[in-house]
Chain A
Amino acid sequence: MIKKLLIANRGEIVPRVMRACRDLDIKTVTVYSDADKDMFYLQEADETYNIGPANPIKSYLNIEALVEVIKTSGVDAVHPGYGFLSENASFAGAVAVNGAVWVGPAPAILKAIDSKCYCRKIANDAGVPVVPGTIDKINDVAEIYRFASEHGYPIVLKLDKGGGGKGIELVEEEAQVKDAYERLARIGKISFGHPECYVEKEIRKPRHIEIQFLTDQFGNCICLGERECSIQRRYQKIIEESPSPVVSEAERAVLFDYTSRLALAMGYRGAGTMEYLRSEDGKFYFMEINARLQVEHPVTEFLTGIDIVKKQLTIASGERLGITQEEIDFRGHAIEARVYAEDPVTFHPSPGTITKVDFPVTDSNFLRIDHAVEEGGKVPPYYDPLLAKVIAWGPDRPEAVERLKNALSDFDIEGIKTTIPVNLLILSSSDFIAGCLDTGFIEALYLKDKEASVKPLWPCM
Chain B
Amino acid sequence: MNENIKERISALADGELSEFEVRRVLEEIEKEPVLRDYWDLLQITRRSLANEDLGRLDVDISERVRRELSGRKLHSSEGNSSYTRYKSYLAATAGLALVIGINFLVTTPNTTIDSFSEEASQTIANAIASPEAMEVLNNSVLGIDARLKDFNYVSGGGMHANYVFPENGRTFRVSLTPVMSEYKPKRSPELRRAFIKTDKGVFVVSVSGNITDEKKSRILQNANYFSNQIK
Q: Do A and B bind each other?
A: no
